[in-house]
C-alpha cells in the first residue's frame, strides 16, 4: 500500500494514501454526504419531474432540471474513500467551483424568489450542496499537510550510463 511518508521527498507524518478516509473520518462522512446529495439531486431534478410530467400527460422532459453535477459528486465521493494522487486537487477544485456556482445561483434566486415546489426543493438542495463543499474545503485546508504531499509511487532510478559503459570496457 503506498504511503505518503514512505518515499524520499515525501513529508514526514503524512498518512497512507489508501487510509485517508480512515485517518480523517470527516472525509468518509463527506464522501457519504456526496452520495446522498447525488441521489437527492437525481430524485428532485429527474425522477420527480418525470413522474409529475407523466401524471400530467405532458412530455416527460417538461419539468426536468438538466445538470450532471451528481456524476461529479459520485466520482468525488468515491475518490475520497479510495484516495489517489489526484484526489486532493480534485476535491479542492470541485469544492471551490461548487461554492462559487451555488453562491451565485442563490444570490440570483433570492433576488426574485419563486417558491414553487420545484424551486423550493432546488433551493434546499443547494443549501446542502453549499454546506457540503464548505465543509470539504475546510477539511482540505486544515489537513493539507497530511493529504497533499503524496505524489504517488517514486519513479524508478534511471540507469547509470557511466557504470554501464565502464562495465563494457572492463
Burial of residue 84, with CB atoms counted within 10 A of its CB: 0-12 exposed, 13-18 middle, 19 or more buried:
middle
pLDDT digits (tens, 9 = 90+) for 18-63: 568 788 999 999 999 999 999 999 999 999 999 999 999 999 999 9
Which grid coordinates are listed for 48?
420527480
CA distance 127 to 143: 24
Domain boundaries, the chain: 17-152
pLDDT digits (tens, 9 = 90+) for 110-119: 999 999 988 9
pTM of the model: 0.76
Which grid coordinates are listed for 43?
430524485
Amino acid at each position: 500500500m503506498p504511503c505518503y511518508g514512505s518515499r524520499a521527498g515525501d513529508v514526514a507524518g503524512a498518512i497512507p494514501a489508501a487510509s485517508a478516509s480512515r485517518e480523517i473520518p470527516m472525509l468518509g462522512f463527506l464522501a457519504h454526504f456526496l452520495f446522498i446529495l447525488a441521489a437527492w439531486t437525481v430524485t428532485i431534478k429527474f425522477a420527480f419531474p418525470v413522474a409529475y410530467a407523466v401524471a400530467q400527460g405532458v412530455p416527460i422532459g417538461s419539468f426536468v432540471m438538466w445538470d450532471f453535477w451528481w456524476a461529479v459528486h459520485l466520482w468525488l465521493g468515491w475518490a475520497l474513500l479510495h484516495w489517489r494522487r489526484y484526489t486532493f486537487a480534485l476535491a479542492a477544485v470541485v469544492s471551490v467551483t461548487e461554492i462559487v456556482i451555488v453562491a451565485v445561483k442563490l444570490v440570483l434566486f433570492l433576488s426574485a424568489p419563486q417558491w414553487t415546489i420545484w424551486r423550493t426543493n432546488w433551493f434546499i438542495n443547494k443549501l446542502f450542496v453549499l454546506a457540503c463543499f464548505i465543509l470539504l474545503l475546510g477539511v482540505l485546508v486544515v489537513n493539507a499537510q497530511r493529504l497533499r504531499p503524496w505524489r504517488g509511487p517514486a519513479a524508478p532510478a534511471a540507469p547509470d550510463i557511466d557504470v554501464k559503459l565502464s562495465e563494457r570496457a572492463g
